[in-house]
Amino acid sequence: MIEFVNVSLAFNSYTVLDRVSFKADFHERIAILGGSGEGKTTILRLILALIRPDEGNILIDGQDITELSESQLREHRMKFSVVFQEGALFDSMNVKENVAFCLREYTNLSEEKIDERVRELLKKLKIENAIHLMPEELSGGMQRRVAIARSMAECESRMMLYDEATTGLDPLTADNICTLIKDISEGVPPGRVGFIIVTHKVTDAIKIAERFLYLRNGKIAFDGDITALYSVEDPEFRNFINELFITEKCR
């Protein structure tokens, strides 16, 4: 369980989050929507304790992570696999080395076991033929797949965190990444691995998520399922998700 309790955060004089509160189970499929600068990625960084709030509490499985030291946070972060925007692959390493990086740094696995694990992940994500390629030789979609494989390599996480996973991709590739994200979260609650995806692409969000949070002016202006999303009356939010209604009319 993730729980934000009256979390506030400001950068200089700009308020990013203003007393934000919500709860999320690890098996949920959640999309965080909102415009640029509304704090979407900030929420992921707070969950990982990469930054700390100015006020409020963040509880993971009932433990307040805002009180933990850096050394205590390693075990906490192992509960999550994160895919950063643009993939953030190491340019000087090939696909195998990128995916194997965390396994070599943070486990005692033999090279044979590491190789086995890397190939297993690449096969699962349908990119095993790219194992010896460099990031510059990969398409945008393949780079995202490698980034997802790397995020899954170190541990069996309880939840995936995606930061703008489909940004900059063509529609077909973005659709393939959405399918992949949903496949990784296969199964039924509470046994499945859920996810939180940060995105401004509403049409991608509705393909995979079951719960939607909308951030505006530092607050959660909407929290609901797909039915509530289509029924929203708030003019500003309805304008933000207008592409949904345009898509419906074109069908």
Q: Read off the pLDDT of residues 164-186 as tens digits, 9 standing for 90 and up.
A: 888 888 889 889 889 989 988 98
Q: Is residue 104 part of a domain?
A: yes
Render pLDDT for 92-134 as a digit per residue (tens, 0 to 9). 999 999 999 888 887 888 999 999 999 998 998 889 999 999 9
Model confidence over 134-143: pLDDT tens digits? 999 998 888 8
Q: Which residues contact 196 (CB under 8 A, 6 or more apart)?
A: 24, 28, 30, 31, 32, 43, 44, 47, 159, 160, 161, 162
Q: Please identify which residue in the block is written with the tokens 């999309």.
A: 31
Are residues 121 and 176 both part of a single domain? no
Our count of domains for the chain comes to 2
Structure tokens at 207: 């393909």
Q: Are residues 23 and 121 in the same domain?
A: no
Task: For residues 73 and 9, state if they share a domain.
Answer: yes
Residues 58, 65: contact at Cβ < 8 Å?
A: yes
Long-range Cβ contacts of 44-50 (<8 Å, 24+ apart): 44/82, 44/161, 44/163, 44/196, 44/198, 46/4, 46/7, 46/9, 47/2, 47/80, 47/161, 47/196, 48/77, 48/80, 48/82, 48/161, 49/73, 49/76, 49/77
**CB atoms closer than 10 angstroms to residue 170:** 12
113 and 172 fall within a common domain: no
122, 128 in Cβ contact below 8 A? yes
Residue 77's identity, in one-letter code, is R
Residue 220: φ, ψ to 5°: -85, 105
User: In this structure, are 179 and 246 located in the same domain?
Assistant: yes
Query: Distance between CA atoms of 105 and 132, rounded to whole angstroms?
Result: 20
- Whether 216 is covered by a domain: the verdict is yes
Q: List C-alpha distances in Å: 206 to 39, 44, 175, 229.
A: 20, 19, 11, 9
- 22 residue type, one letter: F
Q: Of all residues in the chain, what percent carry a pLDDT higher than 90? A: 55
Mean pLDDT of the 227-250 span: 78
> Which of residues 100, 124, 156 is at a domain's end?
156
Co-location of 240 and 162 in the same domain: yes
Question: 190 vs 122, which has greater pLDDT?
Answer: 122
With tokens 């499985």, the residue in question is 61
Is the same domain home to 73 and 169? yes
Q: Would you say residue 84 lies in a domain?
A: no
User: Which of 132, 156, 180 finishes a domain?
Assistant: 156
Predicted local confidence at residue 69, as pLDDT: 86
Of 104, 127, 156, the one marking the end of a domain is: 156
Containing structural domain, residue 97: 90-156
Mean pLDDT of 212-237: 93
In this structure, what token pair is assigned to residue 31? 């999309």
Q: Are residues 165 and 243 in the same domain?
A: yes
Q: Computed from CA positions of residues 63, 67, 72, 74, in that sequence, does the dihedral angle turn out positive or negative?
A: positive
Q: In whole angstroms, what is the distance from residue 125 CA to residue 34 CA?
A: 29
The side-by-side arrangement of strands in the sheet containing 194-198 is 80-83, 159-163, 194-198, 29-33, 211-216, 219-224
pLDDT category, 250, cuts 50, 70, 90?
Answer: very low
Q: Classify residue 11: in a domain, yes or no.
A: yes
DSSP state of 70: T
**Which of 180-189, 211-220, 237-246: highest mean pLDDT?**
211-220
Same domain assignment for residues 163 and 106: no
35 within a domain of the structure (yes/no): yes
Rounded CA-CA distance 236/205 in Å is: 18
